[in-house]
Structure 1
Amino acid sequence: MSTDASASAPASVAADARPARSDRSSTERLTPDDPRLSFDGVTGWSRDDGGDGGSGLLPLRMPLDRLGTALSPTLARLARTTAGVRFAVRTDAAAIELEVVTGPGGSPLDLRVDGVLVHRWTGGPGRHRIAFALPAGGSRPAEVEVWLPHLGVTRIVAVSLSGHRSPPLAVDRPGTRWVVYGSSIVHCMFAAGPSETWPALVAAERGWRLRNLGLAGEAYLDPVLARTIRDAPADLITLELGINAYLRGGFTARTWGPAVCGFVEAVRDGHPDTPVVVLTSLAAPGREEAVNAAGMTLVETRAATAEAVRVLQRLGDRALHLVDGLTVVPVAEAGRVYADGLHPTAEGEHVLADRIGAELERALPEGGGAARQRSVR
């Protein structure tokens, strides 16, 4: 077991007039599927230990039953990672304790109170009991939000609250439901923590309900992912497309554009009027004009993606939008934004959040992107 209670500066708090109700020394242990833990970014739960003997429940960001149709063990493994998965509870507890089983991956676990990051825990694979003091000190109910590691598999055994006067409550989630699909650019390999990936930053600033379907190295337009997005509740959908297809040479000039059209049209079967934003590949210095194994350059792949979108727009899809990845990260800025010539640094995630977030707001119906509940700091 491990315990970690390191923290940044506590969040500011305000008084609350709730009457005292229970003994301050009380501890309440919640199972992960307790309705008072408001999960977001999930579609269900799995008790499957994944073959590694882990216990607890695994929150799923996509259904697992049809993943075999992709014929990719790597995709099946990545589908179990908890990118974008978080839960919140409204409580005046003085401390929260998490019992979790974490797999390899190395990304931290974040805890935010009223939108402010107060703890970031980094631990290795294994079963952990992690205790966090809450900065409000039990003085008033606050929204406590836990972001699970985004690069690994995390199972939850229990969540315990202690030192509270009033019972924990579920947190209302009224915001725009946003589904984002893509490669490691969406999975966010070098983010400082799971709540500071660019999709998390975009969602938190605007009060959107994020569901992250980033799959590092596996964004190949698999039909199972098109069906997953088709069946997911969504008010906004973002598809980051092209870089995996180019790097692995998985599509030719003949097949890539039609595959993009087919993926978007499959999504449209469940979301005929939902705004869909296609984001083409960001800049990749040294790769822009290099010919891949399928005979395409990245420039050509990006152009084919854009042409597929324009074809669907000409056919009448008025809710389909195109964002050129070179306007998000131009070649000239890549050295400042990237850690390795391809993936954004921790600071680069904030650059992407500012630029992509502004583009997504423009895609929503008037007023749909205007609500900004809080900023992530």
Structure 2
Amino acid sequence: MRGDALWTGYRHRAVDAAGWMTFWRLDPRGQQFGLTDWMGYPDRPGHRLWSRAATPAGVRAAWQTSASAVSLELRAELDIYTSIAPVDFLVGGTLHQRREVQPGEQRINVELPPGPMELEIWLPQAGAIAVREVSFEGEAVPQPPTGPRWITYGSSITQCTGAYGPSETWPALVARQHRWELVALGFAGECHLDPVAARTIRDTPARLISLCLGINIYGGETFSGRTLPGQIEEFISTVRDGHPHTPLVVITPLPAPELEGKPNALGLTLDDIRACVELGARSLGDPDLQLIDGRTVLSGEEAQNLYVDDVHPGPDGYRLIAERLAPLLTLPL
């Protein structure tokens, strides 16, 4: 039988004439920059936000089922920046199968254990992905998301393209531990305080919001020491327009041992970026805002051992980040 899915974790769903669905984590409608990306939506030159936003990191669906097998019809393409991540099939909250995804159209068939069971499908956190149909050999009832909604915004370290799979990114691990509904707004290379990201968070109901800010601003030389605190303040102010009292956590850059102490082209070190993020966040005098110094999430020695390059953790690094942040990201009683 066809398994109509209640996909969650996205902002806008686009369906083409052939029935392929793309899950946008930001809404591309009305954006006009003059240069189109691989989906025909606009990206500025040197600006990959929209291709990142069309990657379904954190997008998933759940069913209650006693079916013997499930089939996912999926289309995937490489973009020039990332590989394609796998699809995760979870049964009862535990990874049942992780299936690699190849470029092109494909149907992924997975046998299921004897039911009844709760099945979750987590779509890839890297690659250009579209979905057409989920079908079951047996009965399956879509399950709406439950639990409080948590929005987390950040860079590639929040998108976690290098995690073992989409259910093992650090946001997914934290959300699964707390049984929260996740909205993962991690955009590799593109966490630059874009107004559309602030408006998306503002307009999406949530019980908790976290913002991991600074590493792309350092690497992209986006703002100076003069402008960055004001940009942080403005971004948070926009979020607060829709969430006046929602707990808000701001996380400064994690350690980057090979980059610490090195000024970027605007003369800012990572410590300068951390200080600017803290200054901008504290300027509002917000009693519902918590600051976490990223250097307390991982130590420099742990970063040396767990990073795959100057900035990015490997899969075990993302697991450790989740372990450290899970007890810090909490909801008020």
Same fold per superposition (TM over 0.5): yes
The answer to whether structure 1 residue 203 and structure 2 residue 175 are counterparts is yes
What residue ranges of structure 2 are gaps of 5+ in the alignment? Answer: 34-42
Counterpart residue number, 1:5:
none
1:171 to 127, 136, 143: 143
Cα distance in structure 2, aligned partners of 1:170 and 1:129: 20
The answer to whether structure 1 residue 118 and structure 2 residue 96 are counterparts is yes
Letter in 2 for 1:238: S
Comparing 102-111 and 70-79, the one that deviates more: 70-79
SS of 1:269's partner is helix
Identity of aligned residues (%): 42
Contact 1:283 1:325 in 2 (8 A): yes
The answer to whether structure 1 residue 266 and structure 2 residue 238 are counterparts is yes
Cα distance in structure 2, aligned partners of 1:185 and 1:199: 10
2:28 to 64, 69, 80: 64
The answer to whether structure 1 residue 76 and structure 2 residue 50 are counterparts is yes
- Larger RCO (CA under 8 A, 6+ residues apart): 1
**Structure 2 vs 1, CA of residues 200 and 283 (structure 1 numbering), >3 Å: closer, same or farther?**
same
1:192 to 143, 160, 164: 164
* Structure 1 runs, 4 residues or longer, greater than 3 Å off: 66-73
Within 5 Å, which residues of 2 pair with 1:140-155? 140-155=115-130
Counterpart residue number, 1:307:
279
SS of 2:107's partner is strand
**1:68 Cα shift?**
4.0
Counterpart residue number, 1:29:
2
SS of 2:272's partner is helix
Deviations 1:180-231 (A, max 9, x none): 1000110112100000000000000110000111000010001111101100
Within 5 Å, which residues of 2 pair with 1:78-117? 78-104=52-78, 105-117=83-95
**Structure 2 vs 1, CA of residues 43 and 198 (structure 1 numbering), >3 Å: closer, same or farther?**
same
The answer to whether structure 1 residue 132 and structure 2 residue 104 are counterparts is no
TM-score by length of 1: 0.81
Letter in 2 for 1:276: L
| Aligned Cα root-mean-square deviation (Å) | 1.6
Contact 2:57 2:123 in 1 (8 A): yes
SS of 2:134's partner is strand
The count of corresponding residues between Structure 1 and Structure 2 is: 319
SS of 2:282's partner is helix
The answer to whether structure 1 residue 157 and structure 2 residue 135 are counterparts is no
**1:179 Cα shift?**
0.5
**Structure 2 vs 1, CA of residues 353 and 272 (structure 1 numbering), >3 Å: closer, same or farther?**
same
Contact 2:11 2:24 in 1 (8 A): yes
